[in-house]
Chain A
Amino acid sequence: MKLFIFIILFIISAKGITWAQNTIEVFPSASYDRFIIFQTLALFWIGIIGCVIIIKMKLREIERTQKMGIYKEEKTIPLLD
């Protein structure tokens, strides 16, 4: 009897009362998986922010040259050796 009550309590606490019916897990439940997912999400955002910053730099450069009235890079531009 005690075991029975324990099992029922466990089921209720594990799934929450409202979702007591057999619903499908829409998110991986293992904490290891979850950790990897959140880590990947953070990395993804770092990638996006990096991209945005680089594009912003590029945009500034373009606007700077446009203000100078130059729309094309010179072909014979001297490079530092």
Chain B
Amino acid sequence: MNRQRLRRWFEERYDLTEIGRLAGSKLVPSHRYEIWYYTGGIALFLFVLQFITGMVLALYYVPHFEYAYKSIADIVTKLNMGWFFRSLHHWGAQLAIAALFVHLFSALLLKSYRKPREFLWLSGFILLVISIFFGLSGYLLLWDERAFAAVKVATGGAGNLPVAGHCIKAFLRGGIDVTGETLTRFYAFHVSILPLATLFLIGIHVLLVQYHGLSVPVSLEGKSRREIPFFPNLFLKDLMIWLIMLGIVVTLATLLPPEIGKIADPLAPAPENIKPEWYFLFLFQTLKLFPGEIFGLNGETVAILLISCGICFFFLIPFFDRKSAHGQRSPFFTWIGIFYTLYFIVMTFIGFLS
């Protein structure tokens, strides 16, 4: 009977039946491409997982260059389940970025970015960039020699950008070199600035999805199709997928805990065979394609300029694709989408194997 009273208490203040009706009236299109709708949910789930594991890791991590490495060693060797939660955070991050890439390319190929969902595309893309920066900053927190060299190269690469390059590089590094200052900075990015920005953008992204509803591919638009209620049908399906994802992350974390290298030493030579994290490999491989000098210009600068142009075009693709904005098929942009997707996959594989 207490439940009845509690229910009444709420009903006197909030219109629960109206809320229930609203939740029940949300319909989701069901068609042969519907599987791609789940990628966003997976990414969201992995983000939540990252937030939770990150919070518990932050209870023990010491963000100072003299103690950072040791505190992680202590987390891994001395604390209860410490090795597991560090590994879980690592694998959660890998899979979250992978899920984001799948989500991104599926949105690209199904043209979900087209009018009126331009802001969904933009906010999603910025979320991906933030996530990659999350990865980079989290990597440095380990403060081992590989992370140290990787961050040196990555921030140095940003320094090759024209005009603002040096400013960005100095801002990221907190000085002219990668030092303890950089660690403090990256800690601040990783645990305060980026999470808040992420929460804000996820809020906007999810709100916009509610506002516009889920996008239906051009080829299926206008045809009669089945619609299923989001709650409870799709929600339960999402829940099943999330549970399986949790199982996969936990299994990976248990079976393949990431190694910790030697402690970073600014005076030690760079370690042999360093490779960036897999989501940087396509950039890394692209940079390798360019010679040291092109028409008397620094090859690196030219390469980074071209890559920036490519990424800018990608970012602004909803505004270039006029045809699909009017609800027509635009095979040209399908080909561009396929090109981008294949380029990313092939370059990542080449980088992985070489």
Answer yes or no: A and B touching, Cβ < 8 Å: yes
Q: Is B239's CB under 8 angstroms from A26's CB?
A: no
* Cross-chain contact A23 with B261 (CB below 8 angstroms): yes
Evaluate contact between B83 and A56: CB separation under 8 angstroms: no
Contacts of B232 in A (CB 8 A): 59, 62
**Binary interface profile of A, 23-57, with partner B (CB < 8 Å = 1, else 0)?**
11111100000000110010011001001100110
A56 in contact with B240 given A26-B83, A45-B247, A63-B233 (CB within 8 Å) = yes
Assess the A44–B259 pair: CB atoms within 8 A.
Answer: no
In the complex, whether B298 has a CB less than 8 A from a CB of chain A is: no
B contact face: mostly helix, strand, loop, or mixed: helix
Bound complex: CA A26 to CA B259 (Å): 6
Determine the distance from Cα of A21 to Cα of B262 in the docked complex, in whole angstroms: 8
CB-CB nearest in chain A for B237: A59
Contact flags A57-78 to B (C-beta < 8 A → 1, else 0): 0110011001000010000000
A21-B262, A26-B259, A71-B24 known; A52 vs B254 contact (CB < 8 Å): no
Given that A23-B260, A55-B239 are contacting pairs, would A44 and B233 also be in contact in the complex, using a CB cutoff of 8 Å?
Answer: no
Residues of B close to A25: CB separation below 8 A: 76-77
Contact between A27 and B233, CB atoms less than 8 A apart:
no
CA of A13 to CA of B107, assembled, Å:
50
Q: Is the CB of A58 within 8 A of B247?
A: no
User: A27 near B83 (CB under 8 angstroms)?
Assistant: yes
Among the interface residues A24, A25, A56, A62, which one has the most CB atoms of the partner chain B within 10 A? A24
Are B239 and A41 neighbours in the complex by a CB distance under 8 Å?
A: no
**A interface residues, Cβ below 8 angstroms from B:** 21, 23-28, 37-38, 41, 44-45, 48, 51-52, 55-56, 58-59, 62-63, 66, 71
Given contact pairs A41-B251, A48-B247, A63-B233, enumerate 16 new A-B contacts (beta carbons under 8 Å). Answer: A23-B262, A24-B73, A24-B77, A25-B77, A26-B87, A26-B257, A27-B83, A37-B254, A38-B254, A44-B250, A48-B244, A51-B240, A52-B240, A55-B236, A56-B240, A62-B233
| 21 interchain pairs, CB-CB under 8 A | A23-B259, A23-B261, A24-B77, A24-B260, A25-B77, A26-B83, A26-B87, A26-B260, A41-B251, A44-B247, A45-B247, A51-B243, A52-B240, A55-B236, A58-B236, A59-B232, A59-B237, A62-B232, A62-B236, A66-B233, A71-B24
